[in-house]
Structure 1
Amino acid sequence: MNISVVIPLLNEQDSLTELHDWIASVMQSNHFSYEIIFIDDGSTDDSWKTINQLSLKNPHVKGIRFLKNFGKSQALHAGFEKASGDVVITMDADLQDSPDEIPELYNLIVKDQYDLISGWKKKRYDSIISKNLPSKLFNWAARRTSGVKLNDFNCGLKAYRLEVVKQIDVNGEMHRYIPVLAKNAGFTKISEKVVKHQARKYGETKFGMNRFIHGFLDLITIWFISRFGKNPMHLFGALGFIMITIAFCFVLYLGLDKLFFNPKGRLITLRPEFYITLTTMVIGTQFFVAGFLGEIILRTKQGKKRYTIKENLNLN
């Protein structure tokens, strides 16, 4: 199979038929073998009913239905598990991503041997205040922190080699950082392509300003995991060592001062340096404990499903 199109969605019943017809037309005109995997992330409208209807007229349509809303990252993870195409394309279901971009994205992966191509919506039709400016700030911070030089981390339109999506673990709200996850997994041929952005045709956006707050928090998380995920003691142990060293220096100072320079002075317990020593010793010990706990958890954790699938459609 040439292409798997993975489409997470939430309450997009009005756009699904038009999106399906558009994708099918592109695939047929380019003679691609394909599958379209819709992941219904707990929709409360008739999205799943529409997906069922589409599957009856097109056997290439497959579906996954979550028991409730688990989030876009979990939806992508479920889609990636089932994808079987040589190239995997992800796109949003709101018609803001153009299926006409698929052939060129496919060629960049297959002919130019890229691991991942991320779309860049250079010209956007979103609100400047609510999306454009926060998005620019977010992308700048992501580039500086991750070292992945992309202009648009948030774009849902991306293309991957199959091996990439099978190796990365998309969880929490890490869908924004799939290129970073891919880089950390060893897939370094990552680039971007300017893609057409279209105004939303049906419904309302599911994302508010809080997604950028969550995005920055996730950015800190992925930086930490990238640097210290395999050895948390390297961070917490270093911080603990610094705290214990500071405490030892204060103990040495207080001891020498009391013995040789000021034997009849105030009691050590009445001096502020004594409480600084206690505080740094406690903090240092806590850092070491955090490091040990992190190492234990890392070595004993077991795989656990982060979502519950209610129904599958045309999938084994």
Structure 2
Amino acid sequence: MPISKLSIVIPAYNEGKTIHEILDKVKAVQLINNITKEVILVNDYSTDDTEEAILRYKDANPELNIQYYKHEKNKGKGAALHTGIEKATGDFTVIQDADLEYDPEEFNILLKPIVNGFADVVYGSRFMGGNPHRILFFWHSIGNKFLTFLSNMFTNLNLTDMETCYKMFNTKTLQSLNLKEQRFGFEPEVTAKIARIPKIRIYEVGISYYGRTFEEGKHIGWKDGFRAIYSILKYNLFQ
């Protein structure tokens, strides 16, 4: 389908020190086919100077179409994504974390199957392709692959990375889903619900991954893994 604008939804929580770096990367990207960018930043009640950093950047870079929203209390990543998705006006929407683990330069890799008329949804996999991947935690990667395997069992998809941040959706389709997960259950919930849409065309492409350690600010822990298992079962068996 023709695509003229991409909405980039960025949830942010205590990313004041580095938010300008990811915005610089988003700003620098030249999207294929002269597709324009809309950046939707959702501050999930950060306790540092995230808001000030975003507003400074927005004022200094008016050419980057930044839409800024904030929560009046901390609700979780999923809730921030819900807010961003609701406000999106682009033909397609992509999720971008505020940290530096994913490279916005690779938006074009996700866009290619869409602009070529093959895909309605594209997942960016950290476990396929020849792009750089930082070597980090063995059990974390095993956990990701287990969650993907469990999700695939119910959705009958053959994804390699259900938990990836990089997911690109037709915006109207995404907005039609009744998404409920407030925190890290977003990934299995959206996957379960998108997989049930008749004749939906889901593609997967290899992307880079520049993972962070917990000391560098990674937020996901074992509790989030259990919530993901719960969400896989809930949204595939009982919804």
> Which segments of 5 or more consecutive residues in structure 1 lack a partner in the other structure?
230-316
- What's 1:106 paired with? 111
In structure 2, give the amino acid aligned to 1:72: K
Give the SS at the match of 2:17.
Answer: helix
Give the SS at the match of 2:106.
Answer: helix
Task: Supply the distance in 2 between the matched residues of 1:89 and 1:213 (Cα, whole angstroms).
Answer: 25
In structure 1, give the amino acid aligned to 2:51: W
Displacement, 1:110? 2.3
Of 156, 160, 165, the match for 1:147? 156
For residues 71-95 of structure 1, the C-alpha deviation after alignment (integer angstroms, 9 at most, x for no partner) is 1111111111111111211111111
Displacement, 1:54? 1.4
- What's 2:36 paired with? 33
In structure 2, give the amino acid aligned to 1:175: F
Displacement, 1:28? 7.1
For residues 245-288 of structure 1, the C-alpha deviation after alignment (integer angstroms, 9 at most, x for no partner) is xxxxxxxxxxxxxxxxxxxxxxxxxxxxxxxxxxxxxxxxxxxx
Of 76, 92, 97, the match for 1:92? 97
Displacement, 1:38? 0.9
Map 1:104-253; keep pairs closer than 5 Å: 104-122=109-127, 123-129=133-139, 131-172=140-181, 173=183, 174-177=185-188, 178-186=190-198, 188-200=200-212, 203-225=216-238, 229=239
In structure 1, give the amino acid aligned to 2:119: Y
Q: Does 1:81 align with 2:92?
A: no
CA contact (8 A) 2:109 2:205 kept: no
Between Structure 1 and Structure 2, how many residues are aligned? 225
Flag the 1:88–1:209 CA change in 2: closer, same or farther, 3 A. same
For residues 146-178 of structure 1, the C-alpha deviation after alignment (integer angstroms, 9 at most, x for no partner) is 212211111111111122222112212441122
Displacement, 1:187? 5.6
More helix by share: 1
> Scaled by the length of structure 2, what TM-score is found?
0.87
Q: Does 1:22 align with 2:25?
A: yes
Structure possessing the higher radius of gyration over alpha carbons? 1
For residues 20-71 of structure 1, the C-alpha deviation after alignment (integer angstroms, 9 at most, x for no partner) is 1111111379743211111111211111111111111223111111111111
> Which segments of 5 or more consecutive residues in structure 2 lack a partner in the other structure?
128-132
Task: Supply the distance in 1 between the matched residues of 2:218 and 2:155 (Cα, whole angstroms).
Answer: 27
- What's 1:63 paired with? 68
- What's 2:130 paired with? none
Bigger Cα displacement from structure 2, 163-172 vs 20-29: 20-29
Task: Supply the distance in 2 between the matched residues of 1:86 and 1:58 (Cα, whole angstroms).
Answer: 23
CA contact (8 A) 2:44 2:80 kept: yes
Displacement, 1:204? 1.2
Task: Supply the distance in 1 between the matched residues of 2:36 and 2:30 (Cα, whole angstroms).
Answer: 7
In structure 1, give the amino acid aligned to 2:235: I
Task: Supply the distance in 2 between the matched residues of 1:83 and 1:217 (Cα, whole angstroms).
Answer: 28
In structure 2, give the amino acid aligned to 1:82: K
Flag the 1:99–1:105 CA change in 2: closer, same or farther, 3 A. same
Deviating above 6 A after TM superposition, structure 1's stretches of 4 or more consecutive aligned residues are none
Task: Supply the distance in 1 between the matched residues of 2:32 and 2:155 (Cα, whole angstroms).
Answer: 38
For residues 226-246 of structure 1, the C-alpha deviation after alignment (integer angstroms, 9 at most, x for no partner) is xxx3xxxxxxxxxxxxxxxxx
Displacement, 1:113? 3.5
- Percent identity, aligned pairs only? 24
> Scaled by the length of structure 1, what TM-score is found?
0.67
